[in-house]
């Protein structure tokens, strides 16, 4: 864990764990958009403006104008985050009949009969025979379970399709390309039914979006006109399902958007790619300051945390979330 030794923040090994109770929590929002919810007795680091000393102060005593001490950058040891392929995406069909048969062959040798394999995988015997003979494409959930049980490594990218719809290449982890595409869509995109739309094509965002689609999913969108704006339309139910699994809002995106938790747990290169995509839509420079505007306070707060690797100052004016209002984060 990260702690303060009186001079600097560094890693400590926790010596004790305890369970406490409190009848309330204190909510503190910083000018940079970060939000803390802690017990009143929880100690925070505050800068004493008169002495320059760093003091440990109970959260209940923190007030407007106080300066909290926090690191500009924390070195995190993170890995590429896996996509949740066992959730709603599990109903997609995998175009890898040979891989499925190979896994079933291993499991038949282990359990003796295909009927026994069907029981182990939780499938009906008729469904498994369809997979074994190659008559049907396996569902993603059945495919993953069979591959794992057989001890066979899952490919880095799978070709999947819904029951009705075109196939896409599905990555198994959130890499830089997927993160940037997600940032683009959260800033200037939307999901409608079985399609994905990128709106407000500025600064070559449409070309970048098309390139990311090809690199990540092996598909392309169509440039079209949506009432009053130009955009790119992607008809892909599989892509819609993937975005939903990552928490992409299906309605009122501007108010409900957040930085996906998986992005916050990713390596800095992935976080930077997400920010690059998002800022290309909702960011702009003004007098040497990068400003981001969003109607979602959760998004602004998430962006503040996402930029943890930046050694710059930040501020975020506080505004009440009234109808039609927005929050803004600025970085110099």
pLDDT tens-digit series, residues 258-278: 899 999 889 989 999 999 888
Higher-scoring residue by pLDDT: 55, 113: 113
Q: Report yes or no: 38 and 26 within 8 Å, Cβ to Cβ.
A: yes
**pLDDT per position as a tens digit, 303-329:** 877 765 543 333 333 333 333 344 444
Domain spans of the chain, in order of start: 2-61, 88-170, 171-331
What's the average model confidence in pLDDT over 64-75?
79
What's the average model confidence in pLDDT over 178-188?
93
Query: What's the pTM?
Result: 0.76
C-alpha 40/C-alpha 60 separation (Å) is: 5
Assign domain 171-331 to its CATH superfamily. Homing endonucleases (3.10.28.10)
Q: In the prediction, which pLDDT does 286 show?
A: 64
C-alpha 138/C-alpha 240 separation (Å) is: 20
Q: In the prediction, which pLDDT does 15 show?
A: 84
| Same fold: 88-170 with 171-331 | no
pLDDT over 50 at 179, yes or no: yes
What's the average model confidence in pLDDT over 56-66?
91
Q: In the prediction, which pLDDT does 21 show?
A: 82
Q: What percentage of residues in the chain have a pLDDT greater than 70?
A: 86
What's the average model confidence in pLDDT over 138-142?
96
> Is domain 88-170 annotated with CATH 1.10.260?
yes
Strand locations in 128-228 (E): 157-161, 168-171, 189-192, 195-199, 222-226
Encoding tokens for residue 95?
A: 């175009």
Higher-scoring residue by pLDDT: 296, 174: 174
C-alpha 82/C-alpha 139 separation (Å) is: 18
Q: Is 143 exposed, middle or buried, given 0-12, 13-18 or 19+ CB atoms closer than 10 A?
A: buried
Tell me how far CA of residue 48 lies from CA of 3, 23, 34, 275, in angstroms. 19, 29, 21, 34
Tell me how far CA of residue 16 lies from CA of 13, 43, 102, 242, 326, in angstroms. 9, 16, 49, 41, 43
Contacts (Cβ under 8 Å, ≥6 apart) of 252: none
pLDDT over 90 at 135, yes or no: yes
C-alpha 124/C-alpha 138 separation (Å) is: 13
**pLDDT per position as a tens digit, 201-210:** 666 788 889 9
C-alpha 207/C-alpha 232 separation (Å) is: 10
pLDDT over 90 at 285, yes or no: no
pLDDT over 80 at 159, yes or no: yes
């Amino acid at each position: 864990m990260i702690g303060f030794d009186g001079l600097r923040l560094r890693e400590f090994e926790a010596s004790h764990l305890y369970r406490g109770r409190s009848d309330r929590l204190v909510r503190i929002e910083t000018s940079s958009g970060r939000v803390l919810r802690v017990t009143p007795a929880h100690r925070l680091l505050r800068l004493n403006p008169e002495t320059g000393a760093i003091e440990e102060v109970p959260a209940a005593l923190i007030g407007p104008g106080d300066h909290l001490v926090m690191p500009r950058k924390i070195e995190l040891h993170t890995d590429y985050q896996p996509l949740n392929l066992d959730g709603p995406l599990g109903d997609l069909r995998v175009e890898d009949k040979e891989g499925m048969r190979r896994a079933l062959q291993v499991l038949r040798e282990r359990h003796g009969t295909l009927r026994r394999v069907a029981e182990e995988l939780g499938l009906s015997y008729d469904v498994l025979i369809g997979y074994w003979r190659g008559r049907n494409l396996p569902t993603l959930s059945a495919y993953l379970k069979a591959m794992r049980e057989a001890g066979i490594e899952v490919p880095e990218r799978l070709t999947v399709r819904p029951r009705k719809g075109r196939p896409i290449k599905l990555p198994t982890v959130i890499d830089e390309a997927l993160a940037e595409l997600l940032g683009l869509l959260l800033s200037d995109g939307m999901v409608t039914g079985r399609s994905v739309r990128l709106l407000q094509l500025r600064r070559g965002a449409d070309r970048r979006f098309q390139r990311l689609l090809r690199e990540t999913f092996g598909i392309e969108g169509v440039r079209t006109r949506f009432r009053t704006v130009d955009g790119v339309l992607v008809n892909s139910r599989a892509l819609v399902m993937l975005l939903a699994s990552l928490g992409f809002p299906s309605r009122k995106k501007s108010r409900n958007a957040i930085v996906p938790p998986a992005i916050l747990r990713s390596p800095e290169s992935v976080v930077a790619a997400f920010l690059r995509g998002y800022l290309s839509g909702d960011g702009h420079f003004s007098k040497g300051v990068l400003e981001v505007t969003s109607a979602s306070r959760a998004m602004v707060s998430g962006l503040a945390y996402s930029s943890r690797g930046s050694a710059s100052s930040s501020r975020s004016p506080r505004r009440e979330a009234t109808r039609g209002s927005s929050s803004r984060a600025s970085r110099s």
